[in-house]
Amino acid sequence: MSTSIQIIKIGGNIINDAKLLEEFLQSFQNIKGQKLLVHGGGRAATAFSERLGLKVNMIDGRRVTDKETLDIAVMTYAGLINKQIVSKMQCLGINAIGLSGADGNVITSVMRDKLPIDYGYVGDIVKVNADLIHTLLNQQLIPVFCPVTHSKEGQLLNTNADSIASAVAKAMSQQSSVVLKYCFEYNGVLEDLNDKTSIIQQVTKQSAKHYINSGVFADGMIPKIENAFKALDAGISSVHICGIKHVHQDNPGTSFIHSNERES
C-alpha cells in the first residue's frame, strides 16, 4: 500500500457552531497527505423539522425517516450544510468537492429492513466506489460527503454519517493504508460527561460492552463505537475519537483496540 489516507468525520455540534467549525477546518488543513471529510448534521435537520412542526423520532441514537423527514434531510445535509462546509474550505485554500452518495454513483445503499424496527427511508450501505474517490484525491480534490446515499433506483436514503465514514474507510483500505478519525467537541471519549479530562485512552470490544451496559456510552455514541470496531475488523489501520485541535495529530484522543490486541 503506497498511499495513506485519513478519513475524518464530524458531527452536528461542530457544524452548528461557527467558531468550532472554523477551528476544525484549520486543523483539518494541517493534515498531511490525502484526506477526505464526512459530515453529519442531525441537529440542523431536527431544528428545521421543529420549525415545520414535524415530530422527530429517534431510536437508539438513530433517526426514523419518513418521507417528509427525508426531504428535510436531503435539503439540509446535501444542500445547506454540505455547501457551507465546502465554501469555508475553499476560503482556506482547500479545494473541496461536495458529494452525496448519488453523485458519481459513489455510495449505493438499500433501504433498511423494516424488522425488527422500521426506520423508514434509511439506507444500509452495500457498495462504495473507491476508484472514483481515489481519482478525486489524485486530482488534489478533497471529497466532502454528506449523509445521503441512493438505491440506484431513484431513491435517496438518509444514511448514518458514522456508517458512511466506516464504509468509505473499508473500501479505501483495499488499496491504501487508512486512518479513521471521529472528531467532536471533546478531546476523546469521556467516562464522565461533567469532567472533560476523564478521557478513556483506549477502548476494546470487551470494555465497550461494559461502558454501554453501564450507560457511559449512550445515544449517538453507540453507533460511533460500533462502526469503529467494524472498521478495524475490515482492516483499517487505526480508529480514533478525538477533539478539534488534535485531528491533525498521529495519535489523538481515544484509540480503539482490535479484538486480537490487548490494552497495555
What's the pTM?
0.88
Q: Model confidence over 144-179: pLDDT tens digits?
A: 999 999 999 999 999 989 889 989 999 999 989 999
How is residue 142 written as a grid cell? 478533497
Per-residue exposure over 20-53, b if at least 16 CB sit within 10 Å of its own CB, e if not: bbebbbebbeebeebbbbbbbbbebbbebbeeee
Q: What is the pLDDT of residue 126?
A: 97
Residue 264: pLDDT above 60? no
pLDDT of residue 7: 96
Q: What is the pLDDT of residues 3-60, one digit of tens each?
A: 789 999 998 889 989 999 999 999 999 999 999 999 998 888 888 888 888 888 888 7
Query: What architecture is the 4-185 domain classified under in CATH?
Result: 3-Layer(aba) Sandwich (3.40)
- Contacts of residue 123, Cβ cutoff 8 Å, sequence gap at least 6: 101, 109, 110, 111, 112, 149, 150, 151, 157, 158, 159
- Backbone φ, ψ for residue 38 (5° rounding): -120, 130
Mean pLDDT of 121-125: 96
Task: Determine the pLDDT at residue 259.
Answer: 53
Scanning the structure block, which residue is given the C-alpha cell 474517490? 133
pLDDT of 178-188, one tens digit each? 999 998 888 88
| Higher-scoring residue by pLDDT: 126, 160 | 126
Task: Answer whether residue 263 shows pLDDT above 70.
Answer: no
